[in-house]
Amino acid sequence: MDIRPLSDHVVAKPISEEKTVGGIVLPDTAKDKLQRAEVVAVGSGRLLENGSRVPLEVTVGDVILFQNDFGQKVRISDADYLLLREGDIVAVLAAASVIA
């Protein structure tokens, strides 16, 4: 990937299709307001006034939940990504909760 986020920013790849237990694919419009994405890159952390950095709580590979209207959409090498601030992320899903 040709992008490196700065500070407390995160680059995530949206998870656009979800299947129900019965195998029905839900379109984006039928989902809750919280959306899912997989973290593909993280910044170095928020810079404090004393010059130290606070590391991010999310790591590459985490599946995150965020509000649909947060983040900037970007297209890089024919793939869609989201640029989010760590503060815009609501939760990190446990590995057992991720729908493949």
* pLDDT, position 18: 59
* pLDDT, position 54: 93
Q: What is d(CA 64, CA 12) in angstroms, rounded to the nearest whole number?
A: 9
The token pair at 45 is 């952390």
Counting Cα atoms < 13 Å in the Cβ hemisphere of 77 gives 4
* pLDDT, position 6: 93
* pLDDT, position 82: 94
pLDDT per residue of the chain (100 residues) written in tens, 0 to 9? 678 999 999 999 998 765 555 666 656 555 557 889 999 999 999 999 998 999 999 999 999 999 888 889 999 888 999 999 999 999 999 875 655 5
Q: Is the dihedral of CA 74, 77, 79, 85 positive or negative?
A: negative
* pLDDT, position 7: 92
Domains with residue ranges and CATH for the chain: 9-18+25-95 (2.30.33.40)
